[in-house]
Amino acid sequence: MELYGKNAAELSAMLKNREISSVELTESVFRRIDETEEKINAYVTLDRENALKSAAEIDARRAAGEELSPLAGIVMGIKDNISTKGLATTCASKMLADYKPPFNATVMDKLAAAGVVVAGKLNMDEFAMGSSTETSYFKPTKNPYDTDRIPGGSSGGSAAAVAAGEAVLALGSDTGGSIRQPAAYCGVVGLKPTYGAVSRFGLVAFASSLDQIGPIGKTVEDVAMLQTAICGHDRMDATSARREYPDYFRGLENNAQGLKIGIPKEYFGDGIDGEVKQKIMDAVKLLEKNGASVKEISLPSADYALSSYYIISSAEASSNLARYDGVRYGYRAENYDGLIDMYEKTRSEGFGDEVKRRIMLGTFVLSSGFFDAYYKKAKLLQRRISAEFSDAFGEVDVIATPTVPTTAFRIGENTDDPLKMYATDICTVTVNIAGLPALSVPCGCDSKGLPVGLQLIGGKFTEQRLLNAAYTYEHLRGGFPAAVI
Amino acid sequence: MVKGYEVVIGLETHAELNTESKIYCDCKNQFGLEVNSQVCPVCMGMPGALPTLNEKVVDYAIKMGHALNCKINRVCKQDRKNYFYPDLPKAYQISQAEVPLCENGYVDILVDGEERRIGVTRIHIEEDAGKLLHSDKFDGCSLVDLNRCGVPLIEIVSEPDMRSSAEAKAYLETLKSILQYLGICDCKMEQGSIRCDVNVSVHKPGEPLGTRSEMKNVNSFSAAVRGIDYEVNRQIEILENGGRVEQETRRWDDVKGESVSMRSKEDAQDYRYFPEPDLLTIVVDEERVNALKNEIPELPNTKLLRYVRKFGLSQKEATFIAESAELAALFDGCMAKGKYPAKAYATWLLGDFIKYLNDTGKSVSDTCLDADNLTELVGLIEKGTISNAGGKKIFAVIIEKKEDVAALVDKLGLAQVSDSSALEAIADEVLAANEKSVSDYKNGKTNALGYLVGQCMKASKGKANPGMMKEIILKKLG
C-alpha cells in the first residue's frame, strides 16, 4: 500500500522506527494530491514547499536522536477556518479570499509543537454554514466514494481529503454536525469534542457557543491520537475547560463488556432512510453480541432541536460576522458612495447566499420585539435538551444514532431547498446544543456503495469512553473499503 | 425651577478605568501612545480572536459600586451591543445589558450648602471603542486609531434626580473626586477619561414628567452645565410656543454652544443585545466583595459633609480640602491634634500652600509640610509669639525643608515683643512725639489710632505684638 493510504498510527510507528522519513510520506501525499485533487477539490490552498521543509526538519531532528511526539512528521490538512499564521485562511469566502492571519490558532501552535506537517488548507462551506461544501466561494468538494455526490459539510474538504488519501489526518470544526456529518458521508471517523475541550482561539467563529474544533481520521486510533494533541485548557479562550485531559490513544481499550448503549426512539423516526436505520441497528447488535447492553431511551425535545439550533447559531453568526465590514481587512467593494454604502456593498458582494440567509435570520431573531419569542425560547429549549441528555446518561454510557438520516446526496440536489438541507443536521445538532462529545464511525455502506455513519454520543468529557466504544466496534466490524477514485 | 418649569436631569457617565492592561486582552491601557501601537488580534477584532476578562476591571467596578452604595450583583453576565461603526472593530461592543455588576445605589452631594441624595440606577463594565481621525491631509479618507479599543469603562447611570445644571455639575464633580480617591480613573477630562450623556426634560409643577431628550458628546463638566441650560431653555421655548418636545438624541456642540438633533425615537438603533457567548458568567464570591469594601477609604463627599458640619468650614473650603486625598489627610492629621480651630489651618492650606503647589507643580507629598510643623506654626501665631507676616516667612522655609519651627523663630528673628512694660515704653515714646495725632484722636478722629499703632510698630522694628500694642495705646489715650 502507498504511504498516503496508511493510517496515522501505522505511519507514526514507521516514522519512529525510521522505516520511512517524513519527507517520503509528504511526497507520497502530494503525489496523491496531484493525482486526485482535480476530481476531489478538497483543498483551497496547498502549501507544498513549507510542508516539505517542515518534513525535512522533523527528519533531521529524529536523525539527531530527539524524542518526538507520535504525530511528528504526519501530514495533515487544516480546515480553512482555523487561523494559520501567514497562510491564507479564507473560510471559503470571497470576504476573506486574501486574508492571511497574523497569528496562529492555539491548535496550530500545539500541532506545530507536535511536529505535524501541514499540507494545506481544506475547503468548506462558506464560514462553516452548510451541509455539503457547496456554499464554498471557490468550488464544491466531491465525495471520494462518488464524485457526483457531495462530501457533506461544512468540513467537507477535511473528510474528503482523509478519505481520498490527500491527508493522513485533518482538522475540522463542528457547530451542528460539521465534522460528524461529512465523516459519515466520506466513510471516515470524526470526533466532535466536548464544548471547551479544544481551544477555539483562532477558529473563525460561526456560532461561538456551539463551535468546536475536532479531529478527522481513517480510524478511531488516528482520531484519538490527534485529539490528544489538540485538547487542553487555553488561557486565550475563556470557555475552555480547566481540567486534566488523558492520552486518549494510549487509553484505548477493545472491550464492549458492560457498555450500556441507549437507543433514542426519536432519532429513528420517519425521516431516517431504511437502509441507514438497518446499518445502525446492525452495528448496535454487534456490540450487544459482544457484551454491551442495549436500552431504548427517549429524548423527547429532539423535535425542537433543529429550530433552536438554527435560531441560536444564526443569532450568534449575525453578530460574529458583523466584523467583516470592509474597514480593516478582507474584501471591500470597489465602488461606493459613503460609509453606509461601503458597508452594504461590501457585505452584499463579499458574502454568499447561505451566509446572508443566516445573517438575516439571526438579525431577525435578536431584534427587539422578537428576541423573547425566538432567541430566549431557543435558549430555554437548550436547557431542556441538556437536561434530557443528563437524565439519559444516568441510565446509559453512550447513545447510538445515525449520524445523518441518509447517505451522501447528489451535488445540486438540495441547493434550492434550504430547509431540506438543514434537515440533514437533525441527528447531530442536539449534541452541540448540549455541549456534548460525539463521534461518527463508518458502519457499512448502503446499496449504492455509499458509507453510513454510526453516531455515538457521550456525557461531557467522556471522550475516552466514546472512543473506546467506537474502537471496539471498529474491531468487530473489520476493515472498511477505501474510496476508489 | 426655570421660568416656572421644573427641570429633571439624569446622567450617564462613562469613566475609563486605569488598569494596567485592557479589559479583554494583554495590550497596555495607556493614553497618548503612537497610533495603532497598542493593539493585538483581540482588540482589533481579527477573525478567530477571543476576549478574556481582566478581573481587575471587575474589582475596580465593584469598588465604585461600594462607593456609590450599590448592591453588588455577585452573578452577572456580559452582553453584546451590536452596531456598525468604523471605530468598533468587532461591530459589537461587549457591555452589560440585563444584569449590571452594581445597581440601586446613591451618592450624597452638596449644592449651595444644601445636601442632596442622587440615586444611582446601575454601574456596568464595558469596553471603549477606537477613535476616528479626520484631516484634509488624509486625501478624502478617514483613518482609525484602535489604541483605545478595549480600554475598560464603567458606565454610571443616575436616576433622574437632579433638578438644575448646578446639581448636575456637583454630581459630576463628586463622581470625579470619588474616582480619584479610589485611584481607579485618571480623571483627565482633556483625554476623555470621563464623558457623559445627559438626559433632560422639563414640566410644570404638579404635571407629569415631560418628554426627555438625550444629549451626547458632552466632554467637560462646564459643557454639561452649558448643554443642560441650553436644552432646558430650548424645551421651555418649544412648550411656551405651544409645541411638543420630541424624544430624540441630540449632539452637543460646545464650540457653537448649541445642540443639534442626531436621530429621533423612530430612528433609534436596535442594538440586538444578547449574552456574549465568548465569555463566562461573572461570579464574584462574597469574600472578594467584602475585601474590596474594606479597601475603600472615607470618600470625599463624606469628608466634605464632615468638614462643614463638624469643623464649621465653608463649603468652598471644605470642598477644596476634601477633593484632594493628600490635602485631606494633612488636614485631618492637624485636626486630630485637637488644638486649634479648623479655620486657622484652612487659611494656610487654601492660601500659601495651594499657591506654592500651583507655582511649583508639586504635590502635597513632595513638600515637607506635615501635621506637626503646620500645627506648631499655627500655634505660634495663635499664641501671638509671631505675627502673621512672620508666620509666612517660616512657612516658606518649612514647606521645603524639615527645620525646627521654634528654632526658625529665633534664626529669622521673628519673635514678637509681647512684654507689656517694653511695649508701654514704646507707647510712651511715640505718644510724646506725636502730640497732634493724640489730640486729633481725642477730638474724635479715630483713624489717628491706626497711625499711632503704626508708629509704634515702626519703632519696634515690626516686632511688637500688634494686638497688644493697640490695646496699650487705647488705654493710654483714655
Residues B369 and B438 both lie in one domain: no
A154 is catalytic: yes
pLDDT of residue B266 exceeding 80: no
For the stretch A384-397, pLDDT in tens is: 999 999 999 999 99
Residues B279 and B328 both lie in one domain: no
Catalytic residue among A28, A69, A83, A154: A154
Q: Does A191 fall in a domain?
A: yes
Q: Does A173 fall in a domain?
A: yes
Q: Residue A415: pLDDT band by 50, 70, 90 thresholds? A: confident
Taking a C-beta distance cutoff of 8 angstroms, is the pair A99, A122 a contact? Answer: no
Q: How high is the ipTM of this complex?
A: 0.96
Residue B453 has a pLDDT of 87
Residues B232 and B148 both lie in one domain: yes
More confident residue, B227 or B382: B227
Domain count, chain A: 1
Q: Which of A99, A237, A375 sits opposite B50 (nearest CB)?
A: A237
Q: Which of A201, A235, A325 sits opposite B91 (nearest CB)?
A: A325
Distance CA A154, CA A128 (A): 5
Taking a C-beta distance cutoff of 8 angstroms, is the pair A151, A124 a contact? Answer: no
Of B379, B411, B443, the residue that ends a domain is B411
Q: Does A408 fall in a domain?
A: no
pLDDT of residue B419 exceeding 80: no
Catalytic residue among A6, A12, A21, A79: A79
Mean pLDDT, range A105-111, rounded to an integer:
98
Sequence-ordered alpha helix ranges (H) in B151-259: 165-182, 221-240
Residues B335 and B275 both lie in one domain: no
Percentage of residues in chain A with pLDDT exceeding 70?
100
The contacts of residue A225 (CB under 8 Å, 6+ apart) are A8, A9, A12, A70, A71, A169, A217, A248, A249
Instruction: Reduce the secondary structure of chain A to three states and give it as a string.
Output: CCHHHCCHHHHHHHHHCCCCCHHHHHHHHHHHHHHHHHHHCCEEEECHHHHHHHHHHHHHHHHCCCCCCCCCCCEEEEECCECECCECCCCCCHHHCCCCCCCCCHHHHHHHHHCCEEEEEECCCHHHCCCCCCCCCCCCCCECCECCECCCCCCHHHHHHHHHCCCCEEEEEECCCCCHHHHHHCCCEEEECCCCCECCCCECCCCCCCCEEEEEECCHHHHHHHHHHHECCCCCCCCCCCCCCCCCCCCCCCCCCCCEEEEEHHHHCCCCCHHHHHHHHHHHHHHHHCCCEEEEECCCCHHHHHHHHHHHHHHHHHHHHHHCCCCCCCCCCCCCCHHHHHHHHHHHHHCCHHHHHHHHHHHHHHCCCCCHHHHHHHHHHHHHHHHHHHHHHHHCCEEEEECCCCCCCECCCCCCCHHHHHHCCCCCHHHHHCCCCEEEEEEEECCCCCEEEEEEEECCCCHHHHHHHHHHHHHHHCCCCCCCC
Residue A86 has a pLDDT of 97
Instruction: Give the CATH number of the domain where residue B454 resides.
Output: 1.10.10.410
Residue B420 has a pLDDT of 79
The Cα of B279 is separated from the nearest Cα of chain A by a number of Å equal to: 6
More confident residue, A423 or A366: A366
Q: Looking at chain B, which residue has its C-alpha nearest residue A90?
A: B47
Q: Does B329 fall in a domain?
A: yes
Q: Does A375 fall in a domain?
A: no
Of B389, B411, B433, the residue that ends a domain is B411
Residue B269 has a pLDDT of 86
Q: Residue A11: pLDDT band by 50, 70, 90 thresholds? A: very high
For the stretch A290-328, pLDDT in tens is: 999 999 999 999 889 999 999 999 999 999 999 999 999
Residue B170 has a pLDDT of 94
pLDDT of residue B422 exceeding 90: no
pLDDT of residue B455 exceeding 90: no
Residues B262 and B317 both lie in one domain: no
Taking a C-beta distance cutoff of 8 angstroms, is the pair B101, B126 a contact? Answer: no
Residues B319 and B285 both lie in one domain: no
Residue A237's region, left for phi above 0, alpha for psi from -120 to 50, else beta, is: beta
Interface contacts (A, B; CB < 8 Å): 98
Report B:267-286 residues touching A (Cβ under 8 A): 270, 272-274, 277-280
The contacts of residue A430 (CB under 8 Å, 6+ apart) are A299, A302, A305, A309, A385, A389
Instruction: Give the CATH number of the domain where residue A227 resides.
Output: 3.90.1300.10
Calculate the average pLDDT of chain A: 97
Residues of A in contact with B277 (CB under 8 A): 207-209, 239, 316
Q: Residue A4: pLDDT band by 50, 70, 90 thresholds? A: very high
Residues B221 and B330 both lie in one domain: no
β B92-95/B79-82 pair status: antiparallel
Mean pLDDT, range A4-20, rounded to an integer:
97
Inter-helix orientation angle B466-477/B448-459, to 10°: 120
Taking a C-beta distance cutoff of 8 angstroms, is the pair A154, A190 a contact? Answer: no
For the stretch B366-415, pLDDT in tens is: 899 999 999 999 999 888 888 888 899 999 999 999 989 988 888 888 88
Q: Residue B35: pLDDT band by 50, 70, 90 thresholds? A: very high
Q: How far is residue A208 from each of residues A90, A128, B48, B161, B322, measured CA to CA in Å?
A: 18, 12, 10, 41, 48
Residue B427 has a pLDDT of 87
pLDDT of residue A180 exceeding 90: yes
Distance CA B81, CA B67 (A): 27
Burial classification of residue A394, based on how many CB atoms lie within 10 Å of its CB (0-12 exposed, 13-18 middle, 19 or more buried): exposed
Residues of B in contact with A209 (CB under 8 A): 277
Of B292, B321, B346, the residue that ends a domain is B292
CB contact (8 A) between residue B46 and residue A209: no
Q: Does B1 fall in a domain?
A: no
For the stretch B87-112, pLDDT in tens is: 999 999 999 999 999 999 999 999 98
Q: Residue B449: pLDDT band by 50, 70, 90 thresholds? A: confident
Residues of A in contact with B91 (CB under 8 A): 319, 322-323, 325
Residues B327 and B233 both lie in one domain: no
Looking at the DSSP assignment, which residues form a beta bridge with residue A171? A78, A215
Residues B255 and B404 both lie in one domain: no
Q: Looking at chain A, which residue has its C-alpha nearest residue B52?
A: A238
CB contact (8 A) between residue B272 and residue A238: no
Residues B60 and B158 both lie in one domain: yes
Give yes or no for B130 touching A (CB within 8 A): no
Range of the domain at A192: 3-251
Q: Does B300 fall in a domain?
A: no
Q: Residue B447: pLDDT band by 50, 70, 90 thresholds? A: confident
Mean pLDDT, range B48-55, rounded to an integer:
98
Mean pLDDT, range B164-192, rounded to an integer:
93
Q: Does B302 fall in a domain?
A: no
Residue B263 has a pLDDT of 86
Residues of B in contact with A171 (CB under 8 A): none
For the stretch B291-330, pLDDT in tens is: 999 999 999 999 999 999 999 999 999 999 998 888 999 9
Mean pLDDT, range A418-429, rounded to an integer:
87
Report A:263-322 residues touching B (Cβ under 8 A): 315-316, 318-319, 322
- What letter represents residue B429's amino acid? E
Domain count, chain B: 3
Residue B397 has a pLDDT of 93
Residues B252 and B322 both lie in one domain: no
Q: Does B130 fall in a domain?
A: yes
Range of the domain at B217: 6-292
Give yes or no for B97 touching A (CB within 8 A): no
pLDDT of residue B478 exceeding 80: no
Distance CA B23, CA B95 (A): 11
Lowest mean pLDDT among A165-174, A429-438, B12-21, B267-276: B267-276
A301 is catalytic: no
Residues of A in contact with B266 (CB under 8 A): none
Residue with cell 490528544: A228
Q: How many residues does chain A have?
A: 485
Q: Residue B148: pLDDT band by 50, 70, 90 thresholds? A: very high
Distance CA A462, CA A189 (A): 17
Distance CA B145, CA B132 (A): 6
Give yes or no for A338 touching B (CB within 8 A): no
Residues B276 and B129 both lie in one domain: yes
Lowest mean pLDDT among A408-417, A452-461, B157-166, B193-202: A408-417
Q: How far is residue A145 from each of residues A151, A407, A479, A480, B17, measured CA to CA in Å?
A: 9, 11, 16, 12, 59
Calculate the average pLDDT of chain B: 92
Residue B437 has a pLDDT of 87
A209 is catalytic: no
Q: Does A55 fall in a domain?
A: yes
